[in-house]
Amino acid sequence: MEKSIYTGTSLRFRQLLIRARKAAALTQTELAERLGEFQSFVSRYERGERRLDVVEFLQVARAIGIDPHRIIRELMKPPERTPR
């Protein structure tokens, strides 16, 4: 089994979290402050250098102000195909 951090699903998960953070008009630093973490914590999971466990994901979603179910629903959709 491939390490989940290197899968397309992991990339989509990170992209969804980044998009949600930016839609909430939060910088990495502002989000980190809400989480009681350093900016590097947010940077590392957004770049795929570390994984978020379920509890951390819920804390991130709460800090951004989004419904975690929305992220999961989006993640479960088939990936969009790019036209050739």
Q: What's the pLDDT at 51? A: 92
DSSP 50-77: S---HHHHHHHHHHHT--HHHHHHHHHS
CB contact at 8 A, 52 and 21: no
CATH 3.30.300.30 fits 11-76, yes or no: no
pLDDT of residue 2: 55
pLDDT tens per residue, range 28-80: 999 999 999 999 999 999 999 999 999 999 999 999 999 999 999 999 988 77
